[in-house]
Structure 1
Amino acid sequence: MSAEQRLADLGISLPDVVPPVASYVPAVRTGQYVHTSGQLPMADGALLATGKVGIGDGLVDPALAKDLARTCALNALAAVRSLTGSLDDVARVVKVVGFVASDPSFTAQPAVINGASDVLGEIFGEPHARSAVGVAVLPLDAPVEVEIVVELA
């Protein structure tokens, strides 16, 4: 089954490409690969949440952060599709890099970035290499940011 058909079967509509918030482009194709810029959890032109991820008052709940990582991955796929015209041109997701703006005591960054990995697995059906990194702060005070590298068929 094609990636575009899987999206339809899963009821997933990719968003419009998120416009850059600084001096970069959403994605670049080089040879058989597309590298996306870091994608924030944006929808309809707005950041869906802000703050640090952790357990406790005033922190972004890890379950919400996982959902936000999923949104980031879908934004990354929209950036890929903007260059390729179709996700059916993607042979596989090669690498996912996820950043989690973390409270100093929070150490479950991999569980948060599973939100991105899980949806990419549902769409493409293959595992990928991945990094999940805790950071002090992300652009616009976003809780998560995700970038991907895909190989084209």
Structure 2
Amino acid sequence: MGELVASAEQRVRELGLPIPDYANPPYGQRYGRLKPFHRIGNLLELSGLTPENRAGERLHPGVVGRDVSVEEGYQAARLTAIHTLGLIRYALGSLDDVVSLSRALCFVLCPPGFDRLHEVSNGASDLFREVFGDEIGSLGRASVGVTALSRNNCFELWLSLECTPVPTAS
């Protein structure tokens, strides 16, 4: 028999992760009218998230490789992934409704020539594997260096995932 793996909701509790509630106040109010997520059948696409909490406080704002170290960028990406869990929970009701993470598009605020983007983005990828396990939590990823992000955040994440089907009425 295989080893029993804890559910994502159980893992979040075990890890003591501070998952934000995106229901109140509504997602995105600082950035104008935004659609927090879009669901097409079993595909859920999330709007961009940053290492910025619900009160607007940012973790390590600035340019990675200049104002922000790679390790600080990693921590910002990890916090962004925690925020992403809150948006998943808002969209689906439970992290246990995630079937598989599909792909992540990671934006890193950095100077031209900075080539350690993957080391920053690993902060998000590592967190997802901790919560969902290797099978569900591993994903395809692209890390893109950019010269500007809203409010000088050092990291932004777009995530797509497969979720359980919506129950049909009988």
Same fold (TM over 0.5): yes
> Is 1:23 aligned with 2:33?
yes
Find the counterpart in structure 2 of residue 53 from structure 1: 64
> Is 1:2 aligned with 2:7?
yes
Q: 1:44: Cα distance to partner?
A: 4.0
Decide which structure has greater strand share: 1
> Is 1:12 aligned with 2:17?
yes
Q: 1:52: Cα distance to partner?
A: 0.8
Check conservation: 1:33, 1:149, Cα contact below 8 A: yes
> Is 1:62 aligned with 2:70?
yes
Check conservation: 1:26, 1:36, Cα contact below 8 A: yes
Matches within 5 A, 1:3-152: 3-17=8-22, 19-20=27-28, 21-45=31-55, 46-54=57-65, 56=66, 59-126=67-134, 127-152=138-163
Secondary structure of 1:125's aligned partner: helix
Secondary structure of 2:122's aligned partner: helix
Q: 1:146 is aligned with what amino acid? A: L
Q: Identity across aligned pairs (percent)?
A: 34
Question: How does the TM-score come out when normalised to structure 1?
Answer: 0.91
Q: 1:13: Cα distance to partner?
A: 2.9
Structure 1: 5+ residue runs without aligned partners?
A: none
Q: 1:32: Cα distance to partner?
A: 0.4
Bigger radius of gyration: 2
2: distance between equivalents of 1:5 and 1:119? 14
Check conservation: 2:107, 2:156, Cα contact below 8 A: yes
Secondary structure of 1:42's aligned partner: coil
Structure 2: 5+ residue runs without aligned partners?
A: 1-5, 165-170
The number of residues matched between the two structures is 150
Q: 2:95 is aligned with what amino acid? A: L
2: distance between equivalents of 1:22 and 1:117? 28
> After TM superposition, where is structure 1 displaced by more than 4 Å over at least 4 residues in a row?
none
Q: 1:89 is aligned with what amino acid? A: D
Secondary structure of 1:72's aligned partner: helix
What is the CA RMSD across the aligned residues, in angstroms? 1.4
